[in-house]
Amino acid sequence: MNHKIKTDIGYCVVSDDCALDEEELKTLAADIKKQPKLTQPNFFIDMRYDYKFIQLQALLKITELLQPVIQSNIKNKTSGIANMDCVSVYQERNEVEIVLPLASFGVLRHYYEELRAALIAMPTIQVDYPKWSHQFRKTLHGKGPLCTYVAISRDEKNKRRELVHFFFPIEVAACMVTPQFGFTRLLQRSLEKFKNIYTTKIYLQICRSADAGKWVVSYSTLRKILCVGNKFRRYYDFRNRILKEAENALRGNSNHWFGLAECFKKGEQDPYLLIFNIYSANNRQNSYDEYNRLRDKMLSTMVDSMHITRATALALTRKVNIRNYNYVWRKHNLLIANIAGNDEVLDKKAYYVSTMERIIETEKYSKLAVQQDLF
pLDDT digits (tens, 9 = 90+) for 296-319: 999 999 999 889 999 899 888 888
d(CA 339, CA 354): 13
Task: Encode pLDDT of 62-121 as tens digits.
Answer: 877 777 776 676 566 666 677 778 888 888 888 889 898 998 887 788 888 888 988 998
Average pLDDT, the chain: 77
Q: With pLDDT > 90 as the criterion, what percentage of the chain qualifies? A: 10
d(CA 152, CA 119): 9
- 3-class DSSP state for residue 264? strand
d(CA 314, CA 308): 10
Q: 303, 313 in Cβ contact below 8 A?
A: yes
Q: How high is the pLDDT of residue 42?
A: 43
Q: 69, 84 in Cβ contact below 8 A?
A: yes
Q: How high is the pLDDT of residue 16?
A: 55
d(CA 340, CA 373): 44
Element (H, E) at 153: strand 149-154
Mean pLDDT across 333-349: 84
Task: Encode pLDDT of 183-208 as tens digits.
Answer: 555 566 666 677 778 888 888 788 77
- Which pTM value belongs to this model? 0.54
Q: How high is the pLDDT of residue 27?
A: 63
The highest-level CATH class for domain 2-42+187-281 is mainly alpha
Note every long-range contact of 301-309, with CB atoms under 8 Å and residues 24 or more positions apart, other chains counting.
301/332, 301/336, 302/352, 306/348, 306/349, 306/352, 307/349, 308/349, 308/352, 308/353
Q: CA 224: distance to chain centroid?
A: 16
Q: How high is the pLDDT of residue 75?
A: 67
Task: Encode pLDDT of 211-266 as tens digits.
Answer: 667 788 889 889 988 888 888 989 999 999 999 888 888 876 777 788 887 888 77
d(CA 308, CA 317): 12
